[in-house]
Structure formats: C-alpha cells, structure tokens
Amino acid sequence: MSTQPPQQQSEEPAAEQSADAESTPAAQQRREDKKAADREARDKRQAEEAEREAKANEDTREIKVFRYDPEVEAKQEPRFDTFHVPFTKGMTVLDAVIYARDHFDPSLTFRHSCRQAVCGSDAFFVNGQQRLGCKTQISDLEEPIRIEPLPHQDVVKDLVVDMDHFYEEMEAVDPYFDPDETPDGELEEQRQSRANREKVKMSTRCIWCGACFSSCNIAAGDNEYLGPAALNKAYRFAMDDREGDAKTQDRLETIEQEHGVWRCQTQFSCTNVCPKDIPLTEHIQELKREAVKKNLKFW
C-alpha cells in the first residue's frame, strides 16, 4: 500500500503533463512570440517617449499674426493669433507665415509671389517696421515676432491691405518713358550715357511694395500726397537724359504741386525701410532743386 496521500498521487501526473506541454514546439513558439511582442511594445514606448522629448526640445519661434476678416462675424474684431513655428536655418518671415497657414490655419491670408524680393507683394509690418517678408530673417528678430499689415492702408483681410490708392499715386506721375524722338533704325537702341545710367540706377530698383508709402507720416495725414515711391518714379524718368524736354517739364510741374515734393519733411523714414536700399529722400530733395531751377529767371 502506498504511504503517500491520495491527493499528492493525483497531482504528480498532472505536473508531469504540464511540463511536457511546455516543452512542445508550439509552446516554445508561443513563448518566442510573446517575447517578440514585448520587445515591440517596449521599442514603441521608447520611440513615443523620444518623439515627445524631441517635440519638447524642438527649436521653434513664436509669431503673433494680425487677424481680421470683415466677412466672418467671429473675426470682425481684430486680434492676434499665436503660432509656434519650427525654426530652420535661413527661415524668413514669409516662410513662417506660410508654415502657419499650411499646418495650423488655412484661412490665414496674405500676399506673396516670387519669394526673391522682386515682386514686392509681401510687405508686412514686422516688429514695428515695414519689411519684406521674404527678405527678413527670423533669426534677426526678437520674439514674439509681431506680423501686421502695412499701416496707414485699409485692411482687406488679415495681412492683406488695399493697394489701390498707392497704385493711383504711382500712375499720377506717368511712370513711362517718353522721349521727344526715337532712333531711325527699327532695331537701333536708345542710347544712354554711363554717367546718366549710374545717376538713375538706384531709382530703377523700386518694386512697388508700398513699404515707403506706409512709413511716411505725411502720406498718412495727406491723402493727396504723391508719396515717396511715386516721387522716386518721377525722378527715375525726369533725370534720364533720354527723356523728352517737354515731358520732363510736365513731370516737374506735376511733382511741384501742393501735394508733391514740397510736402516732404525729410524724415528719412522712407529711406530707412526701403528693402532695395533706394535713397528715396535724396531723390526727392534733388527733385526740389530741379523744380526751383526750372522757375529761376535771369534778366
């Protein structure tokens, strides 16, 4: 007769069966699968933690963008929206607002085109100064970076302003070349001296961005003032020695009117903000001298 308790006798065969079951190929495969799943879950957790840490340490720039939309009731009250934009070397203000529009708010509205400081469409008021968005480096600005529409011009939506008045002033000076006579040969060029080309060269760089017009306190208070951009355009043609004498006199009469060159108070604000470094104030002063000389009579 066995001296072991009946219960122990019944448990030993079960234990032996369990050990045999765990040593089967299927059981080993399950253990390997579980280990692989555990490793995958661990790797996933580590990747998620790394991603969260990377986002926390990501180099971003804070921009505050002016928002206004007269056609949407909730946006009729002007405000500033804040965006945190990932910073990359060489990033411009235009790059930042494009990122904000593409990743955060597709309704953000602004003008831009060439992105090479040629079209003049992306002039903004950045940190209190008129600047071209595509030319202004984010790294040169203090945070938070405030981006607003150009002052002294009606806001259409967000960063877009109405440029109609600016264009009207530009057209008022007839910004077109008008010689008294042209060369006889169909393909013969209208020659200009090197010295004269150097004289007018800087004035030809104007890209009609409106930054100077926006910065001018006189233009802000006098809606009829031609403004620095238009006067610079008048200078460009009036000082070109290929221009016809009659047209030059006509231009001088236009710019010496009550709301012309004599309204300029030589504050240099236009020169300071010009993205193409045009000496606008100097050109206006030279037009004043030419206007005076035109009226001098010796007898």
Tell which wins on pLDDT, 158 or 9.
Answer: 158
Which tokens is 260 given? 């012309």
Average pLDDT of the residues in 245-266: 91
Question: What's the pLDDT band for 53 if we cut at 50, 70, 90?
Answer: low
What does the DSSP assignment read for 86-149?
E--TT-BHHHHHHHHHHHT-TT-------SSSSS---EEEETTEEEETTT-BGGGSPSSEEEEP
| 8-state DSSP, 262 | G
- In the predicted model, what is the mean pLDDT of residues 36-40? 82
Collect all residues with Cβ–Cβ distance below 8 Å to 7 and sequence separation of at least 6: none
Q: Contact, 294 vs 262, CB < 8 A?
A: no
Task: Tell me the Cα Rg of the chain.
Answer: 36
**Which pLDDT value is given to residue 1?**
45
Instruction: Please say if the pLDDT value at position 177 is more than 80.
Output: yes
pLDDT at 159: 98
242 by Cβ neighbours in 10 Å (0-12 / 13-18 / 19+) ranks as middle
Residues 69-120 pLDDT 10s: 999 988 899 999 999 999 999 999 999 999 999 999 999 999 999 999 999 9
Place of tokens 């405030």: 146
C-alpha 16/C-alpha 10 separation (Å) is 11
Place 25 in a pLDDT band, splitting at 50, 70 and 90: confident
- pLDDT beyond 70 at 157: yes
Nearest to 204 by CA among 233, 226, 224, 182: 233
Q: What's the confidence (pLDDT) of residue 17?
A: 55
Q: What is the pLDDT of residue 60?
A: 94
Mean per-residue pLDDT for 280-298?
Answer: 86
Which whole number is the average pLDDT over 181-191?
Answer: 81
Is residue 135 scored above 90 in pLDDT? Answer: yes
What is the rounded distance in angstroms from the CA atom of residue 218 to the CA atom of residue 169?
A: 14
* Predicted TM-score (pTM) of this structure: 0.76
Q: Which residues contact 231 (CB under 8 A, 6 or more apart)?
A: 173, 255, 260, 261, 264, 280, 283, 284, 287
What was the pLDDT predicted at 35?
85
pLDDT at 2: 47
What mean pLDDT comes out for the span 164-178?
Answer: 93
Higher pLDDT, 22 or 44: 44
Mean predicted lDDT score pLDDT of the chain: 88
The percent of residues in the chain predicted with pLDDT above 90, rounded, is 64
CA–CA separation, 125 and 174 (whole Å): 28
Give the side-chain half-sphere CA count within 13 A for 139.
Answer: 6
* Cα 84 → chain centroid: 16
63, containing H or E segment: strand 60-67
What domains, with CATH codes, occur in the chain? 60-161 (3.10.20.30), 164-181+191-295 (1.10.1060.10)
